[in-house]
Amino acid sequence: MNKILKRILFTIFLGIIIFSQDTCYSISLSSRSAILMERDSGRILYSSNSNQKLPMASTTKIMTALIAIEKGNLNDLVTIEPQSIGIEGSSIYLYEGEKITLKDLIYGLMLRSGNDAAIAIARHISGDTDSFIKLMNDRAKEIGATNTNFTNPHGLHHENHYTTAYDLSLISREALKNEIFREIVSTKLWTSDRDKNEYFYNKNKTLWQYDGGDGVKIGYTTKAGRCLVSSATRNRMQLISVVLDDRNWFNDCYRMFDYGFEHYRPVVILSKNQFIRNIYIDNEQILPIMVKEEVIVPLTQQEKKEITIDVKIHENISCPVYKGDRVGYIKIYMENKFLDKVYIVAGKTVEKKNFIERMIEKIYSISASI
């Protein structure tokens, strides 16, 4: 084999090896774009071209379901209109005049990937599809998915319908915070209250194939390729993996899961209501301060040794201070890189003392010193 051919083969080999944040470990993937995120902290454990704008097919329905759950009443009875019938692609075979609960529509949307269910949900929530799409785009911006644009609620191809693996992980993370959403996407079989086509089998093989698999959505169109958002929970840690345009979609998600669960463990850095110290306010009154929220971050064994925290207390704090008021913050660093921030709050209420109370305290203080 001549030197030129060897060099070409070596370059191709490097091109298919994608290195994670842990440089001692590599993952061979087929996707154009991929990411692995831990749900609670939002920490990215692995990524490859995760900010590339790409079509996402039916993983679109993660946002559709989230808005339906947030804005709708699951017990609402939806009357199916002609506009929701005969939509191209996957279907739950709605028929005109059918009455079906919003809950069954969402199950049909997420388990069977019903494009007709997506339109029926959009029209029920917003009155028309365009208004619902605006809700989708507004919610994406709220979540921080700024490189995402929806033009429909189902994911059928459109040139201006796109997201990124990173944005899709943010949207999925937000959805997985919702208990109803988690229950729906982790269901393998749902029996709807219909007179026909009542069984919805989940197309997401993660639930069967991967230990701890519990969500979320598959998608496919000719233009988008195979797209998958998958989730799994082990060791008190839920991971979200996203691949876009990936012929080996499920196995690639599983490879990322294996990497995440093998290398990372959730570490409690700060506990909720953890006492920090007492501070003096108005030069005389003691105020205990504490951590507002628990901070749990997935870390490797090596990273545990590299965590530092920086406590910042607001200057010139004066009475009255009420329990729960923010009085500062703690920044968490790993290898001097910012990782997270949590607020420090007052542990009790401290009222401003009046003139008589201050005089009595001075008298006691003088008496005690004699």
Catalytic positions: 58, 61, 113
**Gap between the Cα atoms of 221 and 305, Å rounded:** 46
- Closest among 41, 47, 46 to 307, alpha carbons compared: 41
CB 26, CB 18: distance < 8 Å: yes
Residue 326 bridge partners (DSSP): 345
Residue 228 bridge partners (DSSP): 218, 243
CB 341, CB 330: distance < 8 Å: yes
Q: Is 43 in a helix, a strand, or coil?
A: coil
If one counts every other C-beta atom within 10 angstroms of the C-beta of residue 197, the result is 16
CB 115, CB 108: distance < 8 Å: no
- Closest among 44, 56, 52 to 244, alpha carbons compared: 56
